[in-house]
Chain A
Amino acid sequence: MNLIARIAAPAAALALAGLAATACAPATSSGASQGDGKTGTLRVWLFREVGNAPKEKAVDAAVAGFVEAHEGVDVRVEYIPVETRAERIKAAFNDPESAPDVIEYGNTDTAGYVEDGGLADVTAEFEAWDEAADTDPAARQSVTVDGRVHGAPLFVGARALYYRTDVFADLGIEPPGTQDELVSTAKRIRAARPELYGIAVGGANTYGALPFIWAHGGGIAELRDGVWTSVIDSPASRKGIAAYAALFGEDNCPAATCAAMGGNATITAFAAGKAAMVIGGDFSRRAVEAGEAGGRYAVVPLPGVREGEIAPAFAGGNNLGVLRSTGHRTLAVDLMKRLAGKETQAALFEAMGFLPTFTDVRAAAVGKEPFAAPFIETLGSGSRFVPATPAWGQIDASLVLPRMFQEVVSGRKDVRTAASDAARTMDAAFAAAG
């Protein structure tokens, strides 16, 4: 009895102190535009890549052209570390005073950033842009939310199947032509070479796993009557999940080590010569080249269910966007178009190997760099994108899909239970995001 009284006094004091401080509600930024200046300094944030110098050179050339065309305009480009981009960009949304005008951002963040009120709607300018007609539909989808365009695609990334040419030659086998063959090939390699994973797979490697679901006709979520509904527990999706889960086990990639691996860990295993195959992106090339596997690998598109099919890839990549808070909207949109235009994309492909988002520029790129061919072929056969809803950012960050895959591959839940649990979580997030 006395305890209550004893707690009550300080609690009341706390509440009183609270009332006194009511004026200090949590901060909210207005985020509104500050006009449309025609001169001054434009600030740009781009991601700092590993070995950033070639990117800087390509960007500098584009910026020089822009500055020349606009009297009294200066452009300052900053390269921000990829690891802390989320914090930096959130901070930019919160504090328009110190925010840049144009940013580079990962395309899975589009819907979230739009919901946050950070990105400007540039639909009119994008439609009027002559170059935009050649934009790949999946790339275009990655800047579109509710039919409105919020940026310009800068490059796409795609994943395909890396394999060790020396191991395949030794064992006298061919790269797999179907997903069933992929499984049997992986197990055959593991049986013959127990020190290798047949194919390195990761329970947390969502974007390596999704092609299996898509290849079986499944998906993450669908837009039905304006509402996103999860389809990860549909029969087709479950087949895909089971196909991916079949790769975990002593006969290929033991769950005890592989369940915890993410995309980078699988690439590291392949690069270190511990795996005969891996699902890697065009952006993984440098890591593979630098490792044990360097010079002893080739890449083919990830096979689909039937012979001759290619499993749909996730169209990852980065976009450029104009911040809603910019004080130089017209100039910023012009700069965005120049930085994401055909000329710069072609230069960036040569400099960094970034796959262009314009179909014609991409076609021209294959001729120059044979390495890009399997990735471009994969993109050409149809690529997919994550649901364009602000809920996706939250689903991604709460690791819904990795948890589902990990539950299945570690045998904690069967495919049906894990998938329907994940579907329920996703549907709740979709509902909350409206």
Chain B
Amino acid sequence: MRPDPNATAPPGAGTAGTAARPPGPARGRPRPAAPARTGRRGGATPWLYLAPALVVLAALLVYPVYQLGLISFLEYTQAQVSGGQPTTFQGLGNYRTLLGDPRFRDVLLATVLFAAACVLATLAVGCTLAVLLTRVRALPRTALMLASLGAWATPAVTGSTVWLFLFDPDLGPVNRVLSLGDFSWTYGQYSAFLLVLLEVVWCSYPFVMVTVYAGIRAIPEEVLEAAALDGASSWRTWRSVMAPMLRPILVVVTIQSVIWDFKVFTQIYVMTGGGGIAGQNLVLNVYAYQKAFASSQYSLGSAVGVVMLLILLAVTLVYLRLLRRQGEDI
């Protein structure tokens, strides 16, 4: 599910980047005259070189998104697919249905809050452990690395099932250790979300940790040494030295985490049995699945998908924009 950690620009961030900066003369901060000079002269040649990539992108990205958008404007259920009923154009009807549905608004709010909590927790744990990695000896470092990679490599379904077992009211070791009796973690809305959050953090912090660790290693020793000589605390070093120098990397892992946690499906689906008691733990992706596949309302499911796409695009663009204003060039 996760991209190769060594790739500097993961697909999600990459496409958002291109969307934010269309080809053409550079704009924004003033630049030396060089780009302006070469700007128009290339003619078709750059496009020729870009063509293979664009064709692949169009086939794998643009076309599905186009279909998603198209279906979201139609009445398209199983009856239309198998030819029992004619396909009709609904305009914004599906979106009106969705936005008029208080349940959808609840799910949307829950998803945003849950994703935000997951992103913050993942980044906090990932960065802390990355700093820790640079402080410990080889053996504990290897152990931590291996443990993290193990968590990373575990398939989401397996991880979720194991966590569910750990927190099982009857047989789970966690309840026994904390002497919680037969407390059911999946019964309450918050405890169920907390349980899922723990699993999500567990399987996604390694990506943050490894990436940030690589970034820290690339910071020149002298800078950190200077900070240490000045008597800076660990927190201070992180805040004033490492974090600013790691900003490009942090941006990438943040966007990655936002996209990934906003789209979380497996953990919720497996751990709360498809959305929890009375649907209390539904997130958008599971909700879309329920609409699109379980009840074959493909058009409503597509509309949910489009809404998710727009939200993610907006979040990414605004985030990049904010960074740009601060003078960072990502």
Contacts and interface: CB of A to CB of B under 8 A. Distances in A.
Interface of A: 2-3, 6-7, 9-10, 14, 17-18, 21, 24-32, 90, 93-94, 112, 114-118, 203, 254-257, 259-260, 390, 393-394, 397-399, 402-404, 406-407, 410, 412
18 contacts: A18-B62, A25-B70, A25-B87, A26-B67, A26-B74, A28-B83, A29-B83, A30-B83, A93-B78, A94-B81, A117-B82, A117-B83, A118-B82, A256-B182, A256-B183, A260-B187, A397-B296, A410-B187
Interface stretch (B17-25, B43-51, B106-114, B224-232): B17-25
Given A17-B58, A399-B279, A410-B277, A256 B187 contact: yes
Contacts of A90: 78, 81-82, 296
A7 B317 contact: yes
Given A3-B317, A18-B66, A259 B187 contact: yes
Closest 6 CB pairs of A and B: A117-B84, A93-B82, A31-B83, A397-B295, A406-B278, A256-B184
A14 B187 contact: no
A349 B191 CA distance: 47
Q: Which of B19, B65, B183 counts the most chain A CB atoms within 10 A?
A: B19
B277 A259 contact: yes
Q: Which of A10, A26, A398, A404 counts the most chain B CB atoms within 10 A?
A: A26
B19 A10 contact: yes
B80 A28 contact: yes
Contacts of B295: 393-394, 397-398
Contacts of B10: none
A281 B294 CA distance: 24
B63 interface: yes
Contacts of B321: 3
Contacts of A112: 78
A25 B74 CA distance: 10
A254 B277 CA distance: 14
Question: Which of under 10, 10 to 19, 20 to 34, or 35 or more describes the interface residues of B?
Answer: 35 or more
Q: Which of B22, B58, B65, B317 counts the most chain A CB atoms within 10 A?
A: B22
A141 B77 CA distance: 25
B299 to A, nearest CB: 9
B128 interface: no
Contacts of A255: 187
Interface in B164-182: 169, 182
B169 A257 contact: yes
B62 A26 contact: no
A31 B62 contact: no
Contacts of B290: 397-399
Given A17-B62, A93-B82, A255-B187, A26 B71 contact: yes
Contact of A403 (B71, B79, B83, B279): B279
Nearest to B169: A257
A15 to B, nearest CB: 9
B69 interface: yes
A112 B84 CA distance: 10
B74 A6 contact: no
Given A112-B78, A390-B79, A118 B84 contact: yes
A257 B184 contact: yes
B85 interface: yes
Contacts of B69: 18
Contacts of A9: 22
Given A17-B63, A117-B82, 12 more contacts: A6-B317, A14-B65, A29-B83, A90-B296, A116-B82, A118-B82, A118-B84, A397-B296, A399-B275, A407-B278, A410-B187, A412-B278
Contacts of B294: 397-398
Interface in B294-330: 294-297, 317, 321
A93 B79 CA distance: 9
A100 B65 CA distance: 33
Contacts of A412: 278, 280
Contacts of A259: 187, 277
Contacts of B31: none
B57 to A, nearest CB: 10
Q: Which of B58, B81, B82, B183 counts the most chain A CB atoms within 10 A?
A: B82
Nearest to A408: B278
Contact of B296 (A25, A28, A394): A394
B182 A257 contact: yes
Q: Which of A25, A260, A390 counts the most chain B CB atoms within 10 A?
A: A260
B40 interface: no
Contacts of B256: none
Contacts of A3: 317, 321
B22 A117 contact: no
Nearest to B103: A425
Contacts of B71: 26
A9 B290 CA distance: 34
A117 B79 contact: yes
Given A28-B87, A257-B182, A14 B22 contact: no
Contacts of A260: 186-187, 273, 277
A28 B275 CA distance: 31
A406 B192 CA distance: 15
A150 to B, nearest CB: 12
B52 to A, nearest CB: 17
Given A6-B21, A17-B62, A31-B84, A116 B79 contact: yes
A255 B186 CA distance: 11
Nearest to A119: B84
B63 A21 contact: yes
Nearest to B280: A412
Interface string B80-104: 1111110100000000000000000
B317 to A, nearest CB: 7
A403 B107 CA distance: 15
B90 to A, nearest CB: 12
Contacts of B28: 2
Given A257-B169, A399-B279, A31 B87 contact: no
A428 B126 CA distance: 46
B277 A117 contact: no
A114 B78 CA distance: 11
Nearest to B314: A7
B85 A115 contact: yes
A407 B70 CA distance: 36
B27 interface: yes
A394 B294 CA distance: 8
Given A6-B22, A26-B87, A255-B187, A17 B66 contact: yes
B44 to A, nearest CB: 17
Contact of A26 (B58, B70, B184): B70
B320 to A, nearest CB: 10
Contacts of B183: 256
A315 to B, nearest CB: 23
B66 A2 contact: no
